[in-house]
Amino acid sequence: MREHLQFYIGGKWVDPVTPKTLDVINPATEAVIGRISMGSAADVDKAVTAARAAFETFSRTKKEERLALLQDIAAQYQKRYADIAQIISEEMGAPIWLSRAAQAATGMGHLAKTIEILKDYEFEEKQGTTLIAREPVGVCGFITPWNWPVNQIMCKVAPALAAGCTIVLKPTEIAPLNAIILAEVFHEAGLPPGVFNLVNGDGPTVGAAISSHPGIDMVSFTGSTRAGIDVARNAAATVKRVTQELGGKSANILLDDVDIAASVAAGVKQCFMNSGQSCNAPTRMLVPASKMAEAKAAAKKAAAEITVGDPMKDGINIGPVVSKTQFDKIQGLIKKGIDEGATLVAGGPGRPAGIDKGYFVQPTVFADVKNDMTIAREEIFGPVLSILPYKDEDDAVRIANDTVYGLSGYVSSGSIDRARRVASRLRAGNVHVNGAPPDFAAPFGGYKQSGNGREWGKFGFEEFLEVKAIIGYGA
């Protein structure tokens, strides 16, 4: 069992102010695999003090110095790559192939993209006799989730470091061990003391202390919309910058000129990836009403081909969901779908056949779903797909936009022009056309209750910069 009972503050591993521990659970086995300390507001104070002191010098470093640090971080990350992938699978349940190919890979992806951006970025420009300068926003507080843990840490930390900011991180307490490894990576790469600090703990305690702390200039949060609202409220009194990447209920529109069987199968697979625990998962599949029967058959077949099991074994498509709390929530929503009259096409309540331990959920598909049903409104965050019928293109767009969320959208069509036209009508921050994969250079973030601000690429990098005008600077 791994015990990590210290926090990383000021370049050292230090004891918590008040001892209090939490077990880390493997969701596939329900066994305790680690133990961490749970921090307090006093620990956050210590971390902020270290970050503020470090900001005085780190904010003045040259671009070339920060480039060298990021390149050293990338080298150390590569050395620990296998460890990172392994621990992610153990503590949050992603199949080991997914941890290697995507979960751990996204950390390197964000590092590489940030290095590329920083190399060519101009922090100053002349506008007549005025100098427009872009400067680091300050001390940044980061609160990150368990579903793509390294992805969400690195897409914040890498651009913040590139900008010259210093950091206080509270990773998820549910899957915190990967963040411990990242702290070791940053230490070995030679980050100056206080530039990066880590305090474990829960949202109501450490998260609230970070978001409300007057010594933190910006807070970036990824998680549920409910928790994001709390973060914004806590931050309001100090008027700090707040960026939020929150929930989603993304529509996947299959237009009437696609191969329904192939498009449905692809949509099922994408929805169930990472056990459905992705904020941008295409959880509402919209199909022409006239093709609902064909869609049901294709979805049932695709769901039957999804193999659920031990994430450390070969041939497994999805592992467990992350915790008993999540398992129970998903089970309740599956029951709600049945009670409200949706057609259960595949899966349903309970664990998959032959599995009697772990937080495993049956890959579940509902059809004939109405957009006012609970399963079409609430973010389930599990391997549960809702298939909704639509009358025509306008109706599909109306249904897709009829949600409080606006993170992602998906459009498939035999005509690229038609797909582009529909994509332009969706009220979402990211729209994927004809199965296009993610783009690390593209801004990631949402409309409406899916949050504000952007991550990834140049747009994400510039969230960590303030703009200063020095008027009368001269020719």
Domain of residue 179, CATH code: 3.40.605.10
Decide if 185 is inside a domain: yes
Q: What is the pLDDT of residue 342?
A: 98
Which letter does DSSP use for residue 461 in this model?
H
What does DSSP say about strands 21-25 and 130-136: parallel, antiparallel, or unpaired?
unpaired
Mean pLDDT per 10-residue segment, the chain (475 residues): 96 98 98 98 98 98 98 98 98 98 98 98 96 98 98 98 98 98 98 98 98 98 96 97 97 98 98 98 98 98 97 96 98 98 98 96 98 98 98 98 98 98 98 96 97 97 98 89
Decide if 165 is inside a domain: yes
Orientation angle between helical segments 81-92 and 104-120, nearest 10 degrees: 130
Record the tokens describing residue 255, joined without a space: 């237009």
Task: Give me the residues paired with residue 222 across strands.
Answer: 245
Number of separate domains in the chain: 2
Decide if 324 is inside a domain: yes
- As a whole number of angstroms, the distance between CA 364 and CA 368 comes to 14
Decide if 475 is inside a domain: no
Q: Are 11 and 138 in the same domain?
A: yes
- As a whole number of angstroms, the distance between CA 416 and CA 410 comes to 13
Q: Are 149 and 268 in the same domain?
A: no
Using CB atoms within 10 A of its CB, is residue 383 exposed (0-12), middle (13-18) or buried (19+)? Answer: buried
- As a whole number of angstroms, the distance between CA 52 and CA 47 comes to 9
Record the tokens describing residue 294, joined without a space: 């064909």
For the question of whether the overall pTM of this predicted structure is more than 0.85, the answer is yes
The answer to whether 366 and 387 have CB atoms below 8 angstroms apart is: yes
Q: Are 178 and 287 in the same domain?
A: no
Q: What is the pLDDT of residue 87?
A: 98
Q: What is the pLDDT of residue 3?
A: 96
Which letter does DSSP use for residue 446 in this model?
-
Q: Are 255 and 130 in the same domain?
A: no
Q: Are 217 and 256 in the same domain?
A: no
Boundaries of domain holding 428: 251-439
Q: What is the pLDDT of residue 86?
A: 98
Decide if 445 is inside a domain: no
The answer to whether 234 and 211 have CB atoms below 8 angstroms apart is: yes
Sign for the CA dihedral angle at 469, 471, 474, 475 comes to: positive
AA identity, residue 353: A
Q: What is the pLDDT of residue 475?
A: 72
DSSP per-residue letters across 75-126: HHHHHTHHHHHHHHHHHH---HHHIIIIIHHHHHHHHHHHHHHHHH--SEEE
Q: Are 326 and 256 in the same domain?
A: yes
Catalytic residues: 245, 279
Q: What is the pLDDT of residue 1?
A: 86
